[in-house]
Amino acid sequence: MVYNAIVTMPPYAPYMREVLRHPIVSGIRLNTVMALHDSIDDTVRRMQEEATRHGKRLWIDLKGRQLRTAGFGVPPFTEIELTHNIDVKTPVTAYFSDGKEHATVLAVKGNKLYMQEGPRRVVGPGESINIPHPSLRIDGYFTRTDIEYIEAAQRVGLQHYMLSFVESQQDVAALKSLHPDAIVASKIESMRGLDYVKSWDGHGRLMAARGDLYLEVPRPHLIASAVASIVEKDPDAIAASRILDSLALSSEPSCADIGDLDSLVRMGYRTFMFGDHICLERDSIISGLNLLQEMAKDHR
């Protein structure tokens, strides 16, 4: 059985080549919310050339309908601007910082949330926000930055995308209409996304994007059955995010993280995508890759 990893790669990481040389790495992911000092075209071309040189793949992660902040919010404040216009029944709870913080939204107007009180810190542009309520409706799909990356990818011959918050075949079709040769990993990150999994047509790949999906399921323990249902539908599915994140804080992985990774393997996952936190430092991601490689040997 072959196991492999996809690594979220900061665009200017000095350890990029070391990661690409690692035998368990099949590709790298460019998170399109990361700041660039080069143009999008130059960044995509450079990372594509590095990946190709090592026989690996570059994935472009498009944000789609994922809710993110569009500017700074400095406390005390009561208004937060989003990347999309939304509609939702209020009052409603919004979650920040991977669910570690929350605040009550009293009203919504277009792309602005009017808060009873916001997180007690500066909220920066590009931060994700989750509003896990069935009444939530998000206007549009691709962001302006998404479109710029799609156009840049076509200019350098890149085909592989990760598509955030896929909830219907129409979301994938929207990308195909802009880039007909696109190869898509559909990130399942919401309850509507889980409904889509049931009718998935088998094109591309599915991804259990656990960073947001964990916040979107109605009760925390349901993440286990949700993640299992994705790989049951697609044996080639990717397990993503919240993988060995304890290594970002310590040189020793937590027992819980090891058990979590073992559980994903036993569910049937063979491809694992490391999220932002563990990938921001050379030592943490190399340790994570080495650990995954050793654990994979035990399951062969």
What average pLDDT score do residues 281-289 get? 97
State the average pLDDT over residues 180-208: 96
Q: Tell which of 97, 120, 138 closes a domain.
A: 138
Tell me: do 158 and 233 sit in the same domain.
yes
Q: How many separate helices (H) and strands (E) can be counted in the chain?
A: 10, 14
Q: Is residue 73 part of a domain?
A: no
Arithmetic mean of pLDDT, 173-177: 96
| 130 and 236 inside one domain | no
Same-domain pairing of 207 and 152: yes
- Answer yes or no: is 15 within a domain: yes
pLDDT per residue over 72-88, tens digit each?
877 776 789 999 999 99
17 part of a folded domain: yes
pLDDT average, residue stretch 128-141 = 94
Please indicate, yes or no, whether residues 134 and 145 belong to a single structural domain of this protein.
no
Identify the band that residue 300 occupies on the pLDDT scale cut at 50, 70 and 90. Answer: low
Confidence of residue 61 (pLDDT cuts 50, 70, 90): very high
Strand 101-109: give its sheet, edge to edge: 79-81, 112-115, 101-109, 92-96
Asked which of 87, 105, 138 is the last residue of a domain, the reply is 138
In angstroms, the CA 161 to CA 230 distance is 18
For residue 176, being part of any structural domain is answered with yes
Q: Please report, for the domain that includes residue 288, its CATH number.
A: 3.20.20.60
- My answer on whether 283 and 180 are in the same domain is yes
pLDDT value at position 123? 87
Residue 45 has pLDDT above 80, yes or no: yes
- The tokens of 155 are what? 């200019």
Which residues are within 8 A (CB) of 264 and not within 5 positions of it... i.e. 6 or more apart?
Answer: 227, 239, 243, 272
What value does the mean pLDDT take over residues 258-276? 96
**160 in a domain, yes or no?**
yes
Domain shared by 60 and 90, yes or no = no
Question: Is the alpha carbon torsion for 288, 289, 293, 296 positive or negative?
Answer: positive
pLDDT at 118 over 90: no
Say whether both 60 and 86 belong to one domain.
no
Residues 261 and 188 in one domain: yes
- Does 190 lie in the same domain as 97? no
Q: What pLDDT score was predicted for residue 97?
A: 87
Helices 255-267 and 223-233: crossing angle, nearest 10°? 30
Number of structural domains (the chain) is 2
- For the segment 11-31, what is each residue's pLDDT rounded down to a tens digit? 999 999 999 999 999 999 999
Same domain, 161 and 254: yes
The amino acid that residue 222 corresponds to is: L
Shared domain for 150 and 221, answered yes or no, is yes
Q: What pLDDT is recorded for position 275?
A: 94
Does 70 fall in a domain? Answer: no
Binned at pLDDT 50, 70 and 90, residue 124 comes out as: confident
- Answer whether residue 18 is part of any domain: yes
Q: Is the pTM of this model over 0.85?
A: yes
Tell me which of 138, 154, 183 is where a domain ends. 138
Residue-number span of the structural domain to which 110 is assigned:
79-138
Give 187's pLDDT tier (boundaries 50, 70, 90).
Answer: very high
Res 1 pLDDT > 90? no
- In contact, 115 and 104? CB cutoff 8 Å: yes
Q: Is 113 found in the same domain as 156?
A: no
Would you say residue 72 lies in a domain?
no
DSSP state of 130: B
In tens, the pLDDT along 99-117 reads: 889 889 999 999 999 988 7
